[in-house]
């Protein structure tokens, strides 16, 4: 069984880094549209998307934001992290089949509230930055290691 282990506030240091990767699938785009209600045809309609500057369907911008959230929640600082805020600048499109790696780096800590600020960068498999920004979280105070939840299999039909 796969486990999730966090890094508590006291173990976090300025300059510390972590990364997390996910490949965008067709189902990811469809499910994100269903969950968010964002049915912009640039995400869902290949014919329409072909008329845009990108010439093909692209991921929802906030899909990248959700992957940053996942990196913070399951990788670093990990379980128990409270997500306070995010700034993002979209630099390039994410296409179906792209593998996005979230690179996190601790840039500041605030001891009185256990706040941690992290630089966040999303890079595709070609090394191109697709999103750049920062996140602020409350890091967990206690070390935990828990079984990674198994997600249900979802079929789209």
Between CA 133 and CA 104 the distance in angstroms is: 10
Reported CATH class of domain 14-141: alpha beta
Cα dist from 90 to 59, 64, 121, 128, 153, whole Å: 12, 9, 10, 12, 30
Between CA 155 and CA 59 the distance in angstroms is: 19
Q: Helix, strand or coil for residue 56?
A: coil
Write down the pTM of the prediction.
Answer: 0.95
31-72 per-position pLDDT tens digit: 999 999 999 999 999 999 999 999 999 999 999 999 999 999
All structural domains of the chain with their residue ranges: 14-141
């Amino acid at each position: 069984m796969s486990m999730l282990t966090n890094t508590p506030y006291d173990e976090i240091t300025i300059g510390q880094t972590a990364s997390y990767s996910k490949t965008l699938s067709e189902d990811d785009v469809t499910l994100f549209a269903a969950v968010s209600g964002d049915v912009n045809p640039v995400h869902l309609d290949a014919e329409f998307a072909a008329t845009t500057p990108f010439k093909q369907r692209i991921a929802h911008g906030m899909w990248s934001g959700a992957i940053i959230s996942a990196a913070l929640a399951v990788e670093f600082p990990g379980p128990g992290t409270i997500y306070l805020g995010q700034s993002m600048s979209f630099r390039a499109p994410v296409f179906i089949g792209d593998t996005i790696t979230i690179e996190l780096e601790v840039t500041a800590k605030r001891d009185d509230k256990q706040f941690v600020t992290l630089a966040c960068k999303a890079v595709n498999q070609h090394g191109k930055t697709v999103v750049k920004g920062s996140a602020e979280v409350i890091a967990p105070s206690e070390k935990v290691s828990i079984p990674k939840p198994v997600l249900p299999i979802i079929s789209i039909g």
